[in-house]
Structures are given as C-alpha cells and as structure tokens.
Amino acid sequence: MNIVLLGAPGAGKGTQAKQISARFGIPQVSTGDIFRAEIAGKSPLGLQVQEYVKSGRLVPDALVVEVVSGRLAKDDCAKGFLLDGFPRTVGQAEEFDSYLASKKMSLDKVLYLKLSEAEAVNRLLGRAKIEGREDDNPEAIKKRMAVFTDLTEPLIAYYHAAGVLETINGDATVEAVAAAVSAALDAAR
C-alpha cells in the first residue's frame, strides 16, 4: 500500500507512522527524519537544509521531491511506503503525482490526522522537553503552525478531490487513533 500521513506538527504522525509501518510491513519515509539525520551527519544535503529545519520553514520543493523520489526508488519501498511529512505543499503534491504516474503507481490512502491547534502546541512543548528537537521552541513552533495552515492545509482539499482522503480525529488517545487508522487502511486493502 502507498500511504501518505498528513497532519499539523504535533498531530502524532511519527507515532502513528511507526505503528502502521510495523503492521503493514511497509517502510516509514519521514522527510523530517531524513533531514535531521543528514544535518547530524553534516552532509552536503544536511548543510543545505539545516537553517530551514531549525527555523521551522519549509525546505524548497524541488530539493524535497528529489530526496523523496531517491528514497522511494530503494528496494524496500517496492511493496509500498508510508510517507510521513511529505508532501507539505500543493506544489510537492503535484510533482509527486507526476512522479507516481511516471512509475505507474498511485496513492491508496491519504490519512489526515486532524488536531486542534491548542492540543498541538501543548504536545509540541511537551515533546521539546523529552526529545530536545531544535525546532520545538515557541518561535519555531509558531512558524511551523503558520506554515501548516498556509501551505499544507490546502492539501486536504487536494486529496479530498482525488478521492483518497480519510480524516481521523487526532485529539483522541494514541490507541484510539491507531485503531481508527487501522480500520481505514483495512478498508482500503
């Protein structure tokens, strides 16, 4: 199955992605994780993206699409993939659609984890204490929320129109969200 997980920062994408990945035997492809690893390794890509990631701005579309298409070309993605944090703009979604079409592939489901903003900010500030992510400080969180509203939210209408969107209440407990996600994916199989 080819799945996209969509949601505001703090919606629980990473947590749910790990569970889906284990249950359906498909790799979790997180652009945020890829970028953080490249930054930690001080690779040329890492150096290119570090200022964006640190401040909560989006890495330019062309660069992200290149990273994702390179990752999806690997053998472990042959039976499907779970994208966590990509696409983040309509531009990325359109380029990604062209990529999928060129490979004769399509998306089975786009899961939108819907979260209230107050709950998202609470969770992110809680996570900052545990994980120490550099972009979980009040200023970067504010920026990431604004980026989500302005650039990523339009994807909800985009994928709704494509007939693949499934909205899930992300304010619920991790277990309840996981159950809803599993039900949605079982129905799509």
- Which residues are catalytically annotated? 13, 88, 127, 133, 144
Element spanning 2, H or E: strand 2-7
Nearest-CB residue for ligand AMP: 32
DSSP code string of 129-184: HHH--TT-SHHHHHHHHHHIIIIITHHHHHHHHTT-EEEEETTS-HHHHHHHHHHH
Binding-site member from 29, 59, 93, 120 for ligand AMP (CB under 6 A):
59
Q: Which of 11, 28, 50, 85 binds ligand AMP (CB under 6 A)?
A: 85
Asked if 113 touches ligand AMP (CB under 6 A), the answer is no
Binding status of residue 86 toward ligand AMP by CB under 6 A = yes
Which residues lie closer than 8 Å to 179 by C-beta, 6 or more apart?
A: none
Question: Is residue 52 close enough to count as binding ligand AMP by CB under 6 A?
Answer: yes
Q: Rule CB under 6 A: which residues touch ligand AMP?
A: 9, 31-32, 35, 52-53, 56-59, 64, 85-88, 92, 135, 144
